[in-house]
Structure 1
Amino acid sequence: MGGRVGAVHGHKKVLVIGGAIYVLFNLISGFMRTVPTIIVMRALSGVGAGIIVPNAIALLTTSFPPGIGRLIWVGLFGAMAPVGAGGGSIFPGFFGQLLPWWWLFFFFAIAGAVVFTAAAILVPSEEVTMDPNGKVDYIGSYFGVGGLILFNCAWTEAAIKGWKVDYVYIILIFSVLHIALFLLWEAKFAKEPVLPLSVWSAPSFKPMLLSAFFTFMSTGILFYYITRWHVDIRHFSNLLNAAAFATFTVTATVACGISAICVRYMPAQLVMAIGTVSALVAGILLATMPVHQNYWPQEFPALFILGFSPDFIFTAAQIITSNSVKRNLQGVAGSLVGTIQLYGLGTGLGFAGTIEIYTNRHGADPIGGIRHALWFSVALAAAATLMCVLIRIPKDEREGWDEDEVEGHA
C-alpha cells in the first residue's frame, strides 16, 4: 500500500511522512513503562518503517533506469539491512547493560530525526508523481493488510497460547475471509487495484516470490533462535550476543554488492538458489550444534554462510521485480518485495514457535524445542531451493528505460 500511495502523491513526500511516524512513535515508546503500551507504540513505529522502505526503493529505481547504476544502488540499499541488523544487535546490548533500557527508543528517535530531516532537505523532489491522476484502493488495502495482520496474529498467539484457545481459530478464520475478499475485490471490483495484474505477468514471477518468502521465513527463524540459543542456553550477555552476529553483518554487507552484479551476469534461478542454499546449509549447521560447543566449529561458518542468504534473495528479488514492471509501478514493486521480506521474517516465527511449544515437553526440554524449530527453518529453505527449479527469468542486460516509458513520463 505504501508504494501505491507514493505513486499517487509523491514518493519523497510519503517517505518523509513515514519517517515522521517512525520518529514520533519511537519517541513515545521511550516514555512507556508497560509491555502492552510498548508493543502498541513499537507497532505504530513499524507502520512508519513500512511506508519508508517501498518509497525509498521507488526513489532509487525511478532515478536509475535498468542497468549497472540501478544494480549498484539497490545493492547498497540492500546492504543497509545487515548493517542495521548489526547495529540493532549492538545498541540494545549497550543500552540494556549500561543505561536504562528506554534510552534505546530515544536514540532511535534522535537518529531517525537526523536521517529523515536530511532526506527531506537533500533528496530531490519529483517534478511529476508517477501516477498523478491515479487513486489509492483503500478498500482493497484494508482487506489485504487486514488479512495479513490477522493471519500473523493467529499464528503468533498460537505460539504463546497454543491451539487450545478458541479465539486463535476465530482470528485465523477472519484472516482467511479478509484475504478471500481481497482477491475477489481486486479481481472483480477494484478500478485501480493495489497490485495490478501486470505485476504478475513476468515469467516465473510467482515461484520467485514464493521462494523468497520461504527463505525469509527460514532466516527469520534462524535469527531469533540463534539469539535464544545464545541467551537461554549459553548464557551470553547482550553485548556478547551482538559480537557473535558480527560475522553475519560483515558477510551480508559484502554479499549485497556481489548479488547485485550476479543478477546481471547469471540466470535469476541461480542467484536465488545461492540465497536459498545458504539458508539451508546454515540451518543444518545450527540445528546440529552440540549444546556446549564453542563458537568457531559450527556457529561461525553457519553465520558466515547465512550472510549470503537474505541479501542475495532481497537484492535479486528487488532488482528482478523492478526490472519486470514499468516506471510508474516501481513503488508497487518495492511494496511487494518489502512485504514479502518483512512478512516472511515475522510470520515464520509464529509457525516455529508453535512447533517449539508442542515439542519441548511442556518446557522440560527447551533445547529439543529450539532444535525442532531450527529444523523447520531447514525444511523451509529446502522447499525454497526446490522452487528455484521452476524459475526461468532471463538475464536483463538493458541499459536505460524503454522508449514508451520515457515518453509516458515526459
Structure 2
Amino acid sequence: MAETNKGSQNSGSDSSQEGLPQGILSDEKTPNLDNEKADEHVYIADTLPLSRQLIFIATICSAMFTNQLGLGQTMDIVRVVGDWYGITNTNELNWLAAGFSLTIGTFVLIAGRLGDDFGHKKLFIIGMGWYALWTLITGLAVYSDQVLFIFARVFQGMGPAVTLPNAIAILGQSYSPGPRKNMAIAFFAGSAPIGAIVGFATGGLFALAWWPWVYWSAAIGLACLGVFSAWAIPPQPRNDVSRNLTMRQKIVHLDPPGCFTGVAALVLFNFSWNQAAGVGWEQPYVYVCLILGCLFGVAFFYVEVYWSEDPILPLAAFNADIAFVLGCTACGWATFGIWVYYAGTFVMELNQVSPLLLAAWYSPVIPAGLCAALAVGRLLGRVSAAWVMVIGMLAYLLGSILIATMPTHQIYWGNFFFSVLIICIGMDSSFPAATIIFSDAVEPKYQGIGASVVMTVVNYSISIGLGFAGTVEREVKKGSDTYDDKKRGYRGAFYFEVGLSGLGFVMSLLFLVKEYLRKRAKAHEKVESA
C-alpha cells in the first residue's frame, strides 16, 4: 500500500505551514539529528523588524492578489474580447475566463511538490516569471485569433498555480503558529477581492483605449514583482531529505503516474462541461471527453491508493471531516465563480453597464473584504473554524439569492450592492477556515497537502462551476439570443448558483453538528474517566 512513505516527503512544502518542516521528516529518516533541527528551527519572519515584515507579507500576498487580478481583468471585458474575435455564441465566452482557473486548479498540487524538492522561494520567482510571459502572449494574441488567446489564458494560469502553494508554504516556514500566522493567512485571503477589483478596474480602463494593454501592463507589473520578490522574500530553509535526493529520486518523488492521470482527469472533465456550454452535448467528442475524464479519475485513485509509494494526493489522510471541508469549499467557490461572471454579464448585457462602471459596482468588495479578513484573522483561534465556515456559506447563499432575484434595470443600490457586500464575506472566511479545519483533521505527517488541496478545490471549482452554469443557461434559453431568452438563461444560471450555495450551507451545518457531537462525546469520556 502507498501509506508507508506518504508523509515523509509530502510534508516539505506545506507541512512547514505548521512550523515543522524538518521535525515531521525526521520521524522516518534521522530521528535524533532532525528532531534537534526541528527544535532549533528559526521562524525567519519573527526575527524581522516590522517594516520588513510588512514588505514580506505584501510580497507573499501578491500571489493571491495577482491570481484574482488575472481572473478579474478578463471577466469584465469578456464581451469586448469576444466582439474582437467575432464570437457570436455567447456560451463560448465561458472559455475566456474558465481556462485560466482550470490550469490553476489542475497544477497547484504538482507545483507544491516541486517546491518541496527545489525550494519554495525559487518556485515563487519562476511562477511570477512564467505568469508575466504568458500574460504578455495573451495580449499579443490580438494579432492572431481566439484559439491563441484561449491557449495563452490556459498557460497563463500555470503562473498562479506555481506561486500560490509556494507562497503559503513560505508563510508557514516563516511564522510560528499563533495569532500573527493566523493574521498573515487572513491577509493572504483578503488579497483576493482587492486583486479582483483592480483587475476589473484596469480591464475597464484599458478597454476604453485598446484591450490588449490590460495584459501588457499586467505583464510588466508581474515581471517587476518577480524581480522584487527575490529580495523581499528571505532565504528559505530546505529540508534535509529533498536536499539529499538525486535528480532521479526527485522525479520519482513527483509521482509521474499520479500527476499524469490526475491532470488528464481534471482537464478532460472540465473541458467537456465548458465545451458543452458552447456547442452542446450533441457533439460526440464532448461526452467522449467526459467519459475519458471519469476513467482517468478512476485510474488516478487506483494509482494513488495501490501503486504510488509517495502519492501526490495521499488519500489515506482523508476522512469525513475532509469530505465536509472540500464539499463546502467547492460549493462556495463555484458559487463565487458563477456570481462574478453572470452578475457582470447580466448588467452589461441587459442594463448596458460599461466595463469601467462595472468595476465601480464591484468596488465595495475592497473595504468589505478587508474588514472580513481582519475579522476572520481575529476570530480564528477564539471561535471554532466550523462556525467561520458556516458564516462563509451563509454569506454565499444570501448573496446568491439577492443577485438571482434582482429585477432588470434596478438601481445599483439595491440587490447588486448588498450582494457584493455580503458575498465577499464568503470568500474571505471559507478559505482560511477550510485550511484550519483541514489542518486539524489530519495527522501531522499530512499537514503538507492542506493549503494545496484547498487551493486546488477553490480554483478548479470556479472553472467547473462556470461549465455547469453555462450548460444550464444554454438549456434554458434553447439557443435563442433575444433579450427575454437571454434573461431567462441568466436567471437559470443564478438559480443553479443558489442551489450550489444552499448545498454548501447545509454541509457546513452538518459539519458543525458533527463537531459539536464529537466534542460532547469527548467531554463525556473525560467525565467518566475522572
Q: Return the TM-score normalized by structure 2.
A: 0.71
Q: Secondary structure at the match of 1:266?
A: coil
Q: C-alpha distance in 1, partners of 2:448/2:111?
A: 8
Q: 1:329 to 1:91 in 2, by over 3 A?
A: farther
Provide the aligned length of Structure 1 versus Structure 2. 392
Q: Which residue of 2 aligns with 1:79?
A: 190
Structure 1 position 253, deviation (Å)? 2.4
Q: Which residue of 2 aligns with 1:26?
A: 135
Q: Secondary structure at the match of 2:471?
A: helix
Alignment of 1:86-101 (within 5 A): 86-97=197-208, 99-101=209-211
Alignment of 1:124-139 (within 5 A): 124-129=234-239, 131-132=241-242, 133=245, 135-139=253-257
Q: Is 2:236 the partner of 1:115?
A: no
**Structure 1: runs of 5+ lacking an equivalent:** 395-410
Q: Secondary structure at the match of 1:265?
A: coil
Q: Is the 8 A contact 1:283 1:378 kept in 2?
A: yes
Structure 1 position 198, deviation (Å)? 5.6
**Structure ranking higher in helix proportion:** 2
Q: Which residue of 2 aligns with 1:302?
A: 419
Q: Which residue of 2 aligns with 1:16?
A: 125
Aligned-residue sequence identity (percent) comes to 32
**Which residue, out of 135, 156, 178, partners 1:67?**
178
Q: 1:198 to 1:256 in 2, by over 3 A?
A: farther
Q: 1:40 to 1:375 in 2, by over 3 A?
A: same
Q: Which residue of 1 aligns with 2:468?
A: 351
Q: Is the 8 A contact 1:267 1:393 kept in 2?
A: no
**Which residue, out of 268, 271, 285, partners 2:385?**
268
- Give the letter for the 1:124 counterpart: P
Structure 1 position 199, deviation (Å)? 4.0
Q: Is the 8 A contact 1:7 1:331 kept in 2?
A: no
Q: C-alpha distance in 1, partners of 2:448/2:201?
A: 32
* Superposed CA offset, 1:70-93 (max 9, x none): 101001111111110010100010
- Give the letter for the 1:250 counterpart: P
- Give the letter for the 2:122 counterpart: K
**Which residue, out of 366, 372, 381, partners 1:255?**
372
Q: Is the 8 A contact 1:199 1:333 kept in 2?
A: no
Alignment of 1:29-68 (within 5 A): 29-33=138-142, 34-68=145-179
Q: 1:325 to 1:15 in 2, by over 3 A?
A: farther
**Which residue, out of 506, 509, 516, partners 1:389?**
509
Structure 1 position 273, deviation (Å)? 0.9
Q: C-alpha distance in 1, partners of 2:348/2:318?
A: 43
Q: 1:362 to 1:38 in 2, by over 3 A?
A: closer
**Structure 2: runs of 5+ lacking an equivalent:** 1-109, 517-530
Q: Is the 8 A contact 2:305 2:316 kept in 1?
A: no
Q: Is 2:273 the partner of 1:145?
A: no
Q: Return the TM-score normalized by structure 1.
A: 0.91
Pair member with larger Rg: 2
Q: C-alpha distance in 2, partners of 1:51/1:198?
A: 25
Q: 1:123 to 1:330 in 2, by over 3 A?
A: farther
Q: Which residue of 2 aligns with 1:183?
A: 301
Q: Which residue of 2 aligns with 1:225?
A: 342
**Which residue, out of 255, 279, 283, partners 1:161?**
279
**Which residue, out of 353, 356, 367, partners 1:239?**
356
- Give the letter for the 1:24 counterpart: L
* Superposed CA offset, 1:74-119 (max 9, x none): 011111111100101000101101x221111111111101111111
Q: CA RMSD in A?
A: 1.8
Q: Which residue of 2 aligns with 1:376?
A: 496
Q: C-alpha distance in 1, partners of 2:129/2:187?
A: 23
Q: Secondary structure at the match of 1:31?
A: helix
- Give the letter for the 1:29 counterpart: T
Q: Is the 8 A contact 2:325 2:437 kept in 1?
A: no
